[in-house]
Chains A and B, each alone.
Chain A
Amino acid sequence: EAQVTQNPRYLITVTGKKLTVTCSQNMNHEYMSWYRQDPGLGLRQIYYSMNVEVTDKGDVPEGYKVSRKEKRNFPLILESPSPNQTSLYFCASKSDGETAFFGQGTRLTVV
C-alpha cells in the first residue's frame, strides 16, 4: 500500500530539548516536503527536498532542519524547540505532475 508514515503521531516536549520527527515514503517519490498547520494560518511549507542530498527552505524554515540521505526518508529536526513551534506537522511526497500523498500528521506540543 502506497503511504507516507510519520512518527511519532503525538509528542509533548519541553523547550530546548532536541527532537526529530521521522517521515518515510514507499513510493520512490523524488519530492518530499514538510508543512505545519495552524488555526487561521492554514498549511505552510517548512522545507522541501527535490531528491537525495537536495533540500531547500520553504516559507517558514526558522527553527527547523531537515536531511535527505536516502530517497525514502525525510526527517524534520527541531534543535531547540520553542512554544511557538507547537503545531500539527505533515510530511508529504509526490512525483512531478502527480498527486501528493500526506502522512497522518504529528501533533507537537512544546511547553
Chain B
Amino acid sequence: KQEVTQIPAALSVPEGENLVLNCSFTDSAIYNLQWFRQDPGKGLTSLLLIQSSQREQTSGRLNASLDKSSGRSTLYIAASQPGDSATYLCAVTSSQGGSEKLVFGKGTKLTVNP
C-alpha cells in the first residue's frame, strides 16, 4: 500500500529565506507526483506536476524535483514571502483498478514571517 510522508510537519521561516520541503513515498511505481497548496479552510491548488519520467519542474520561485528510485521529492521555494504561508501537500498518483489514485501526505504547514 502506497504511503506518503512529509517532513517537517511545520516550518517557520523569516521572509526572504530559501527553503525546502520534503516528501517521500514507499512504492516507486507511480505515474506522477504533484505538489499542492492549501490555504486555511480552502481547497487545494495544484502547484507543480512531475511525470514519472521527469526529474524536475519549475514554476516561478518554485522548483520541484523527483527521484523515483529513492522514493523522494523536494519542493524548493526561493526568496519566501509572507504570501507563501499555507499548507503544502505532496501527492503521488498510483494505479487503482485500471485508473489512477492520488495518495496524499499529511502536509507541511509553512509560516513565513515578515
Say whether A103 faces chain B, with CB atoms less than 8 Å apart: yes
CA distance A17 to B97 in the complex (A): 32
Q: What chain B residues lie within 8 Å of A41 (beta carbons)? A: 106
Say whether A94 faces chain B, with CB atoms less than 8 Å apart: yes
Contact with B along A84-111 (1 / 0, CB 8 A): 0000101010101111111111010000
From B46, B96, B106, contact of A40 by CB (8 A): B106
Q: What chain A residues lie within 8 Å of B107 (beta carbons)? A: 42
Give me the 3 closest cross-chain CB pairs, A-B, nearest first.
A42-B106, A102-B44, A43-B104
CB-based nearest B residue for A92: B102
Say whether A33 faces chain B, with CB atoms less than 8 Å apart: yes
Number of interface residues of B (CB under 8 A): 25
Interface residues of chain B, those whose CB is within 8 Å of chain A, are 31-32, 34, 36, 41-46, 49, 51, 89, 91, 96-102, 104-107
Interface centre among B91, B105, B106 (most CB of A within 10 A): B106
B46–A105 CB distance below 8 A: no
B32–A45 CB distance below 8 A: no
